[in-house]
Structure 1
Amino acid sequence: MMFTNLKSRARALKTELVALYYAARDPRTPWYARLVMVATLAYAASPIDLIPDFIPVLGYLDDLILVPAGIALSLRLVPAEVMREARERAAATPVSRRANWLVGALMLVIWLIVLASVGRRGWAWWQARP
């Protein structure tokens, strides 16, 4: 019973994230709402967390707080009509496992680029110091 309820909540969260994606692409969505949505979607899809999941309790706590808080803030910033249409579109669009892997791979590539850039700048700074 509890597992079924948890599974349906996870499915609803996934649908809500897809709806946020569609709402972010809508031209009626304000730029600041798009910024919050992109950050929320990127964090939700990212294989790298602020607090690694292997740390007991705290590892999953950031996912349980940051992603829902980002979704809640996004929902407040998006016009109701845009969000209603995005939810309808998300409910009608099946999300394949292949799309999940593609998004995960894309996020991994983005993180690798960011880490390489930070590492390169750090190395240049280290070499330039007296």
Structure 2
Amino acid sequence: MRKIKAWAKKIKQQIFVLYLAYKDERVLLYAKIFSICVVAYAFSPIDLIPDFIPILGYLDDVIIVPLGIMFALKMIPNEVISECEDKAKEIMKNGKPKNWVVGSFIILAWSIIMLWIILKAYQIFR
């Protein structure tokens, strides 16, 4: 159980690393875009596979998010990662930051996507 808790804490820290790296001007644009998508997905309350589906519901949390983090970290320069890791450790010590603007943006983005899917499905099945 300790290994799982340590792994989860490491994942959270890496998400903060990606968030901080996104703001760094040394990170290339494609890496910034991919990183912010991974962070948005990790913080998003909406998953590709809903959590209420037995076993499969948690696969995205266990597989998709860590894979996204791994690929994003490969795109970012090592010196940026090491600086952001130090900042992320400090953030984790002081408690998680709350950014209601970003949270609202994520919910708005997912709502627009879901509305678009519903409208397309309605057009197809009408």
The TM-score by the shorter chain falls in which range? 0.7 to 0.9
* Equivalent pairs, count: 123
1:7–1:103 distance in 2 versus 1, CA, 3 Å: farther
Q: 1:24: which partner in 2?
A: 22
Shift of 1:102: 6.7
Say yes or no: does 1:95 pair with 2:95. yes
Shift of 1:38: 1.2
Spell out, residue by residue over 1:17-48, the C-alpha distance to the aligned partner (whole angstroms, 9 max, x if none). 00110011100001111121111111111111
TM-score normalised by length of structure 2: 0.81
Which of residues 62, 65, 88 in structure 1 aligns to 2:63? 65
Say yes or no: does 1:50 pair with 2:53. no
TM-score normalised by length of structure 1: 0.79
Q: 1:115: which partner in 2?
A: 114
Work out which of the two has the higher radius of gyration on C-alpha atoms and give 1 or 2: 1
Q: Distance in 1 between matches of 2:58 and 2:64?
A: 10
Q: 2:36: which partner in 1?
A: 38
Shift of 1:107: 2.3
Q: Distance in 2 between matches of 1:101 and 1:14?
A: 18
Q: 1:82: which partner in 2?
A: 80
- Structure 1: runs of 5+ lacking an equivalent: none
1:65–1:16 distance in 2 versus 1, CA, 3 Å: same
Spell out, residue by residue over 1:67-112, the C-alpha distance to the aligned partner (whole angstroms, 9 max, x if none). 011111011110000111011111112333x617775554223211
Query: What is the percentage of aligned positions where both structures have the same residue?
Result: 40
- Structure 2: runs of 5+ lacking an equivalent: none
Which amino acid in the other structure matches residue 33 of structure 1? A
Q: Does structure 2 conserve the Cα–Cα contact (< 8 Å) formed by 1:51 and 1:59?
A: yes
Which amino acid in the other structure matches residue 115 of structure 1? M
